[in-house]
């Protein structure tokens, strides 16, 4: 009996490990886009901790990353004090140049618009990948990206 239980535990650990390896970057990127780098990374860790504790339920879900995105967004509330910070602090010459007004304008977008546009244009995710993570349809993701880019272009006065 103990041998059988050990085998089940090992299989569960292997399944979770494979899931974690495949989905951690996607979930972390989505939460960083929504909540900022610090809160997003902490929220992703919290979401995966939750997934491990509830793997019997989470592992059988059709879209577990989308579910964990919502878990992570809830967890991020405790890390957010004055709003998300999107970009890394200035002074790091290894980073590419970014329009200085972009960060404040990204903050002004709704969380869904900010998440969609950052995942699409900063991390290069497809609309289908973003829709699975955010738990919305592909046309909804497209609308969020279009509206976000429209607002950013108007506010930053770029054509």
Domain boundaries, the chain: 1-82, 98-159
- The third-level CATH classification (topology) of the domain covering 98-159 is Arc Repressor Mutant, subunit A (1.10.10)
pLDDT tens track for 17-53: 999 999 999 999 999 888 888 889 999 999 999 999 9
SS3 content of the chain, % helix, strand, coil (to 5): 70, 0, 30
- Cα–Cα distance between 67 and 129 in angstroms, integer? 14
- Cα–Cα distance between 38 and 76 in angstroms, integer? 9
From its phi and psi, is residue 90 left (phi > 0), alpha (psi between -120 and 50) or beta?
beta
Rg over CA atoms, the chain: 18
17: its two tokens: 């490990």
- Whether the model clears a pTM of 0.95, i.e. scores above it, the answer is no
Average pLDDT (117-131) is 92
CATH for 1-82 is 1.10.1740
Average pLDDT (91-97) is 51
């Amino acid at each position: 009996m103990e041998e059988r239980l050990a085998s089940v535990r090992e299989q569960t650990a292997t399944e979770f490990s494979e899931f974690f390896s495949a989905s951690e970057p996607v979930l972390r990127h989505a939460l960083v886009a929504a909540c900022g780098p610090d809160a997003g990374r902490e929220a992703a860790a919290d979401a995966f901790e939750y997934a491990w504790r509830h793997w019997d339920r989470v592992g059988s879900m059709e879209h577990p990353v989308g579910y964990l995105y919502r878990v992570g967004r809830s967890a991020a509330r405790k890390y957010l004090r004055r709003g998300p910070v999107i970009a890394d602090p200035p002074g790091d010459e290894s980073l590419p140049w970014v329009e200085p007004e972009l960060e404040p304008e990204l903050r002004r977008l709704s969380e869904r618009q900010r998440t969609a546009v950052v995942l699409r244009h900063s991390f290069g995710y497809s609309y289908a990948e973003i829709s699975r993570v955010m738990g919305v349809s592909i046309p909804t993701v497209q609308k969020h990206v279009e509206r976000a880019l429209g607002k950013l272009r108007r506010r930053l006065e770029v054509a």
